[in-house]
Amino acid sequence: MNTQRPRILIIYTGGTIGMIEDTETGTLRPFDFDHLIDNVPKIRMLDYDIDHIQFENPIDSSDMSISDWQTMARYIGENYDHYDGFVVLHGTDTMAYTASALSFMLENLHKPVIITGSQLPIGEVRTDGEENLITALQIASATDQLGNPMVQEVAILFENYLWRGNRSTKMSADNFNAFKSNNYPPLAHIGLGIQFNVEALWRSPARRPLDVKLNLDPAVMFIDLFPGLSPEVLNHMLNTPGVKGIVLRSYGAGNAPSNEWFTDAIKSAVERGIVILNITQCANGGIHERRYYTGDRLARAGVVSGRDMTNEAAITKMMYLFGLGLAPAEVRSYLSFSLCGEVTV
């Protein structure tokens, strides 16, 4: 049995959790880690060895970029063997994108990477940040009966739930329960205790060492369907210079207009080598492309089904696959696989 104190590394990137009010403008802006931790005296009650690294300039997560994901992935890779788990403190706005990106970048992950933040700054009396941080630390140090990490994936902890990172979406700008997986059960429920949903937890089939993939290709975009979308606008988007992959947000079970101009435009983009991945605009459920004539036409035009993937997982998975240097045909084929539990196959 492991009798050592859990060793946890906190990576502080910014976000509301560590923000303070700018006295001149009255707006919230990111502040440093010492301020944050001073507001969580209870952390000393945990018998853990905790270290931290902070972004040189903590950011509002609306400023999140690929290079920030690379920094986080690098921190985790460089420190992987020295810690039992990692807690990433992050703004909520793009937290689900970061969780998805890291889930692909950290290949063969076998340790917990728990991302959390808060809706109210840690210095506020009613803050949710203190509880989220403490619970995230407890989850990052949780082990099973054999002493193995309970969580071996990138997950988002927020208020009452732990969610798979690449299945999560920010659902509320106001609620303390701000995140949800619409197509996957919670990994844990947080009430009086932490109840893990053991069957839902990811276990990588590969016993290989962690392999951090830093290269992400930004040549991707979303196209959202809406009634009234004109051929000019659609063609303009499909011909965006340099774009290699498009996540098409279609209606319902994966449906799109059945007009000739629409299908021809999509088909010609696919023939030019652009990978188009179909996901639904619905919060819940996924693509069943052969159910309707309108969806079937998309599939016949060469569009790949994204099944029940989130926006965040779909776009970052494309960045990751193109970042590996794969050809369009290979990207199309990997998009259909579950690489780390991001899609139901």
Binding residues for ligand ASP, rule: CB under 6 A, are: 14-16, 60-62, 91-93, 117, 119
In sequence order, what DSSP letters do the residues of 12-80 get, joined into one string? EEESGGGEEE-TTT--EEE--HHHHHHT-GGGGGS--EEEEEEEEEEE-GGG--HHHHHHHHHHHHHHG
Nearer to ligand ASP, 16 or 141 (CB): 16
CA distance 315 to 319: 6
Nearer to ligand ASP, 14 or 165 (CB): 14
Nearer to ligand ASP, 217 or 312 (CB): 312
Residue 56 CB, nearest distance to ligand ASP (Å)?
16
Query: Could you tell me which of 193, 210, 195, 192 has the C-alpha nearest to residue 153?
Result: 210
CA distance 339 to 228: 36
Q: 179 — phi, psi (to 5°)?
A: -120, 160
Residue 300 CB, nearest distance to ligand ASP (Å)?
40
Residue 155 CB, nearest distance to ligand ASP (Å)?
17
CA distance 183 to 166: 11
Nearer to ligand ASP, 14 or 286 (CB): 14
The catalytic position among 3, 13, 16, 27 is 16
Residue 204 CB, nearest distance to ligand ASP (Å)?
29
Does the active-site annotation cover 16? yes
CB-nearest residue to ligand ASP: 91
- Tokens, residue 299: 């599939």
Catalytic residue numbers read 16
